[in-house]
Amino acid sequence: MRSFISQANAAGIKAIVKQQFELAMQILATGLVPIVEPEVDIHCPEKAKAETLLKTAILEELNKLAPDQLVMLKITLPEEDGFYADCVSHPNVLKVVALSGGYSLKEGNERLRRNHGVVASFSRALLGGLLLQQTDEEYNAVLDATIQSIYEASNT
C-alpha cells in the first residue's frame, strides 16, 4: 500500500496515514502482516517538515493497535539521522524498511547506514547500474556488488 507525499501538508499526511492504517487493519484481519508505505518525495520542498508530520501521524496510529497487531513500515530515507528510531523500537512494528526513493545507490547506502535498525528495500537503486548492453558476466558482477553494498549498509 503506497501513498506518495509531495508536500508538507498536515491534513493530507494525516489523512493518508489514517487510510493506510485502515487498510492495514483489513490485512491484519486476514492473518497477514501489512506494509504501510507512505513515501515522502525526495524532492519535496519541505521534506524534513513532511517527515515530522508523517512520523507524528504514524506513531498516533501505531499507538491505537492491539499488542498482537504487527505492521511493517516502508519509508523514504529521512533528512535527519536516526529519525525513525521511535518506529524501529515500537512494539507494534515488525520491521522498518527504507525505499531508495530515487536516491542514487551511493546516497541511499550512506543515508541507510545512518539509520540504525532500518534495512533496505531498494528497487530503483538496486537496478540503477544494470544495462542492457552488459554481458551476463558484467551484469551479474554489477548486481552482486550492488547487493553486497546494500546488505552492508543495512547491517547497522
Domains defined for the chain, CATH in brackets: 2-154 (3.20.20.70)
Specify the residue for cell string 525505499.
Answer: 99
Of 99, 126, 127, 93, nearest in space to 115 by CA? 99
pTM listed for this prediction:
0.92
Known catalytic membership, residue 37 = yes
Catalytic pick from 74, 79, 95, 107? Answer: 74
Tens digits of per-residue pLDDT, 90-133?
999 999 999 989 999 999 999 999 999 999 999 888 898 999 99
Confidence class for position 21, pLDDT limits 50, 70, 90: very high
Count of beta carbons in the 10 Å neighbourhood of residue 26: 10
Count of beta carbons in the 10 Å neighbourhood of residue 137: 8
Report the pLDDT value the prediction gives residue 124, as an integer from 0 to 100: 85
Tens digits of per-residue pLDDT, 80-90?
999 999 999 99
What strands lie across the sheet with 35-40, from one edge to the other?
Answer: 2-5, 35-40, 71-76, 93-99, 118-120
Known catalytic membership, residue 18 = no
